[in-house]
Structures are given as structure tokens and as C-alpha cells.
Structure 1
Amino acid sequence: MIFNLKDLTRRFAAEKALQESENRYRTIFENTSVAILISEENTIISMVNHEFEKLTAYSKQETEGKMTWKDFFVKDQIEKMESYHYTRRIDPKLAPRKYEARLIDRQGNIKEVCLTVAMIPETKKSILSLLNITELKQMRKDIQHHLEKRQAVMRDTIEAMAMTIEKRDPYTAGHQRRVADLACAIAKEMMLSEVQIEGIRMAGVIHDLGKIRVPAEILSKPDKLTEHEFAIIKDHPQIAYDILKKIDFPWPLALMILQHHERMNGSGYPQGLSGEEILLESRILSVADVIEAMAFHRPYRPALGIERALEEVYKNRGVFYDIEVVNICLKLFLEKRFEFG
């Protein structure tokens, strides 16, 4: 047998490089902080790392070559996961690379895991990494529960504020709730988010909160207000803002209420804002407030009716009122037959 020294040297170097590469990848495989398994085409597990042993409480000796990955997941997910498994071997792009599943450990504990799956090049094997997200998901649930509880407390607080105003001024009693209902209907039709719609509802039911500092005799005066009396009334958005501004609501309630008497052409109060300077939520409340105020009875005049109210906002759209908001409002009354409750 004739040995070619150069060929032998090259082969030896290649074998050494391959061994070093295998050692490097095995070191990474064993020392990563994520559970990893390698699955054969028939779903048998050929290799697991130490983190997988910790996650499942099964040893390498029990797992490798003896168990399938299907042994570790809840039954109602197996069919879907198996479909991904075989689809991935036909075309990896047709199966999700990352998804969540529920794993069962040796003691029967169910753990939420995030799976990341990839095919090993030029083989039918796949490598799966399993990140335990059980605590993270529980933390999210706890945070969500806390937020829901906090919002419920805020809703109760706002309702209490609304009742305080209503007890003092009977004419305000139904007004704020009707404004809130119409404003929310407009917001829904405009496809605003649920968060925005809820904020508009909350602002609507207390938008006249500032009138708590207006003398009762002015609020219920049956005659036309004097200039001085109207100036006192005009302070109510600023008063409400000052009451609410330091409360950490999940919506900009203080600003919404502060701006609900602003007008598109800058002729409103208290700041004389115009156009896009006015919050969209405030522009919606503005239209709803005018419609309700004209349609219903007031101490100083009888109800003018819904037709007069719609005529007012139509005539002044783009001048006092936002064009899109007015158009949506008209659609609600004329096409969708909106009625105040």
C-alpha cells in the first residue's frame, strides 16, 4: 500500500477540523440556557441537552432513542404539531418556525413553552428549542387582572363623580350619559380602538364635572344668562381639568374634557384651539354635546328637537365642528336610526 503523505495530511486535518466543529457545537448544545432536542423523521428523539432534562425531569438515558417528542405534549395539540412536523420535511416554509405549546413533565405538571423549530441541513432531522414561558404567561395574566381591577375602580370613581353632579343639577342627570352614548356610537362608526371608545365613554359621563363649582341658581336659571353668569359657566371645562389632571387615568380624560367646547375655527373656549390642535375625542364629544343639548329641554328653553340639532351641526361642519365627525353623526341618525336611550 502506497501512502500519499499530502493526501494523508489533508485527510487528517479535515478529520481534526470536523472533530473540533462537533465538539464546539456539542459544547453550545449542552451549555445553552434553553432546552433543546433533536428529532428524527419518525419523531423519535435522538439527542437532548441538560436543560431538556431539567425541564422535563427525564434523563438522556430514558429519552434518547426511546421516546418521541409526542410523549411530552398534551394530547389535544399532538395532531397539529405532527402536521407541522411532516409538512416541514416537504417544505419548511409551509410550517410555522415558532409557536406555543403545552408540555407535560414527569410529574404531570403542564408547562407553557415557546417552540422554535428548524430543519438540520441535508437531513430529515429537526432541532427544537423549548423556552419555558409559564411564569411569563402567569405574570401577564396577573398584570392583566391588575389592570382590569384598576380600570374597574376608575370606572366606579367616574360613576361616583357623575352621580355627584347629577344630584346637584337634575338637568345634567341624563345629559352626560346621553352625550356619552352618542359619542361612543360615533367613535365605533369611525372604527376607533376599544381603548379610545372606553375613554370617550368615561369622559362623556363626567364632561360637565366642572359645573360642580357653578352656583346652582345659575345652572337652573329659567331666564337668559347674563354676560357675567355665562362667563362663570364657561369656566367649567378648566375647572374639570384642574380636578382631573393629576389623576393617572389610562385615557387623557382631563384634556378631552378641557377641549370639548373648542371649535374647529378657533372660536371656542377655554383655549381657542383650532383644527387638529383639538383632540379627536374632544371633537367627537363636542358634536354629541351640541346634538343632545339642542334636542332636549333646558331650564331656559324647551327642547328644539333632533332635526334642529342635526341642521346646526350640518350647517357648521368644518366651521365649528369636525367634518368627518358630523358626517358620521348624520349617518347614525338618518341611516342607522340612532335613538337616545
Structure 2
Amino acid sequence: MAAVSANKLELLQIADAVAREKTIDRGIVIAAMEDAIAKAARARYGSETDVHAEIHPKTGQLQLTRHMLVVDQVENAANQISLKDAQRANPGAQIGDTIADTLPPLEYGRISAQSAKQVIVQKVREAERDRQYQEFKDRIGDIVNGIVKRVEYGSVIVDLGRGEAVIRRDEMLPREVFRNGDRVRAYIFDVRRETRGPQIFLSRTHPQFMVKLFAQEVPEIYDGIVEIKAVARDPGSRAKIGVISRDSSVDPVGACVGMRGSRVQAVVNELQGEKIDIIPWSPDIATFVVNALAPAEVAKVVIDEDRERIEVVVPDTNNQLSLAIGRRGQNVRLASQLTGW
């Protein structure tokens, strides 16, 4: 008897060790072991046999049962039993019932131990993936810090501690190079379930990344006093944000700029020197457009509401036109994105 009980507890010890190592639920590991044992039993009793294994979570007692369907006419003796035979064992049996009979305990050979290990590893992986998905799916929109694990095909794989994430080439700032072991901050913009596990997609070019960085630097944004109403980015080069304050005593632009520009500078440094224009947002589109085109001065604004177009007139003194248009049309393009006109 001693040998048997040692074996019983051994199953539970294995389960506990795996659960601890992978930080997943012990129940999942035990279920994986049951699966593996049932699979091994099927190999012995024939693949058609409906074998179920149960490990008692407290004692580690292993019980193998074979489920048989009660039928009128037996077509497959491996998983069907005739009504007459069934009623011998259980007088109340009816056609369509399932009867379970206990099988003698299996002697595990090395083969079944191997296959059991594979099944367990597989199940544990699935459980880990599921945990990772559950953990990150609600964190879309958060900023995370991670360590660069490797760079492949231009994408950067980031270790977040509780999972792996990827920053694709087009979600990185231009001229930005990462090496293994670098610390990286990025924005979670998507978490998807894929066959090879959950994919966590990070971005450093997403407009919301900038919004969240400002929220980290500017307590007024975090507290909801100052709100960023609009963002337009030319990643790595220039950006504009429109801000508004809910409290008339707080200057939204000043709050975002910070003492001697310290707050905006922290964001600029994180974004590889991307210049940021902070613009007071206004519900009046004409005012907002004039603000958005800063640093250029605007003489006149003509709004064509039907076509959602705005014509802006700038004075020709000291190259205001080229200032308004910006390098390669950048200023006017960002203003257009910011206002949505």
C-alpha cells in the first residue's frame, strides 16, 4: 500500500511544482494530467474507448473509468453496451444512458509518461496564453515599460515581465533603433488572440501614446482638470495637441508646458525630440484653426461648411506663408488633422 500512496501524492507534487513554476492554477495542471493519463489509457484499451481519468485533488487518488453508451444494438463494443448487459450492472439503465465502469489502474510505462508530459506542457502553454490574454485585454490604452528581448525583421519584441509584446516597424519612430536589453516605453493599442498565443501590439507613433505621456507628466490632465481634445502627430518630427481646461483658474497650455517647459520637455525627450505645439482648443472652429496654424499669424478665415473646407489668409509680411505651410506642408497638414477640416 505504501508504494501506491507514494505514487498518489507524487502526482499532486508534480502538479503543484508545475503550477508554481508557471504561475497558473493548479486545477488546470491537474486537468492536463488527467487528459494525459486518459490519452495513455486509450492507447492501451483502444482509441475508440471513451476513457476518463480523475485525480482526486486532495488525496491524489487516480480513478480510471470507461463510459459506455446504452444502445439497443451494439455496433461498437468499445464504447457501446446492450440494454440487457447494462441492466445486469444497473437495473435502472435506459437506452441513451451512459454507464461508467471502473478500469484497473494503469501501470505507466515510459511511453505514457512521455506523452503525458507533452500533453501537460501543451495545456500549460494554453493556460499561460489565456492568462496573458485575460491580463492584457483590459489594458488596451495603457502605457507599459518593457525590455527589448530581440529584434526581428525590423519589429521589436518586448518583454513585459508577464508577457511578450511586439512593436512593428511602422509603430516606431523614424530613425529609432533598439538593441537587446534596452528599456522601452510604449502604448498598448491592441491585444488579439492568435493561434500562437495572444499578441500584444505596442505603438510609439499612436496619437494616444502622446496623450498618455502627457497624463503621466501633467497632474492636471490625470485629475481631469485639463483635457487633451485633439492630437495630430507626424511621429518623430512634429505634433500638435489641442488642450482645454475645465477650471478657469488653470491655464491649460501652461499646465502642459510646465515650469520652464519641464513637462513638455519630458514628453519630447521620450519621443526622440518630436516638437510639440500646445494649442488652446476652442469649440469655435475659426478660433481653433487660427490657434492650430501657430506659429503663423492668420489674417482671415473663410469657412465653407458644406464642403468642410477652410480657407485661411495669411499676411505676406516676413514669410508668414511659408511658416503657415511649414516644411513639406507639415504645419498646415497637422492643423488640418487636428481640426478635422
- Give the structure with the higher percent helix: 1
Q: Same fold (TM over 0.5)?
A: no
TM-score, with normalisation over the residues of structure 2? 0.29
